[in-house]
């Protein structure tokens, strides 16, 4: 992701920090709603809030990460851990049930929506590959998003 340059001594820098922090608070609010409403995501809003708080107010990011309600959703941000097998099975099962039902509904729907069914299945296949890959590689935030690591923590581009 591109870094956002914010100059803390300028009035525009303060305005940008306030805007980023406000957007982060909005994302936390959506995450609260997502924790209660079935079908609405929680984790992605928390990740966005962490990103926005990191750029605007690290104190708010620290409070969010240490929050007793949301800490379990953010466990993969700081630690280089793998996605647990149980979580992968649940995610794949839920994703394929949803994709199958969506594809069936769209396939039997009006002629104008039938082309979306193969797209839904293709996107579910891509999601499956990503989830299965998360079991093999460990993501390390400090090493950059473009570097994958093996399950023992060594970067793939390192010499052995």
Bridge partners (DSSP) listed for residue 155? 149
Q: How confident is the model at residue 151 (pLDDT cuts 50, 70, 90)?
A: very low
pTM above 0.85, yes or no: no
- State the Cα–Cα distance between residues 57 and 78, nearest whole angstrom: 18
pLDDT, average across residues 133-155 = 50
Distance of CA 2 to the CA centre of its chain: 17
4-58 confidence digits (pLDDT tens): 555 556 677 888 889 999 999 999 999 889 888 877 888 788 888 988 998 888 8
Q: Hunting for tokens 């107010």 — which residue is that?
A: 57
Query: What is residue 106's predicted lDDT score, i.e. its pLDDT?
Result: 85
- State the Cα–Cα distance between residues 122 and 140, nearest whole angstrom: 28
Query: What is residue 80's predicted lDDT score, i.e. its pLDDT?
Result: 63
């Amino acid at each position: 992701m591109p870094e956002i340059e914010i100059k803390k001594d300028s009035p525009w820098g303060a305005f940008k920090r306030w805007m980023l922090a406000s957007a982060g608070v909005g994302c936390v609010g959506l995450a609260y709603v997502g924790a209660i409403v079935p079908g609405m995501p929680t984790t992605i809003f928390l990740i966005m809030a962490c990103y926005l708080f990191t750029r605007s107010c690290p104190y708010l990011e620290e409070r969010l990460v240490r929050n007793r309600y949301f800490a379990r959703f953010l466990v993969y941000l700081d630690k280089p851990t793998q996605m647990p097998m149980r979580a992968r099975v649940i995610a794949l099962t839920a994703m394929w049930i949803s994709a199958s039902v969506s594809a069936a509904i769209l396939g039997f729907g009006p002629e104008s929506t039938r082309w979306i069914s193969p797209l839904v299945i293709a996107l579910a296949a891509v999601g499956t590959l990503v989830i299965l890959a998360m079991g093999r590689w460990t993501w390390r935030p400090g090493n950059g998003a473009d570097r994958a690591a093996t399950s023992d923590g060594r970067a793939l581009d390192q010499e052995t």
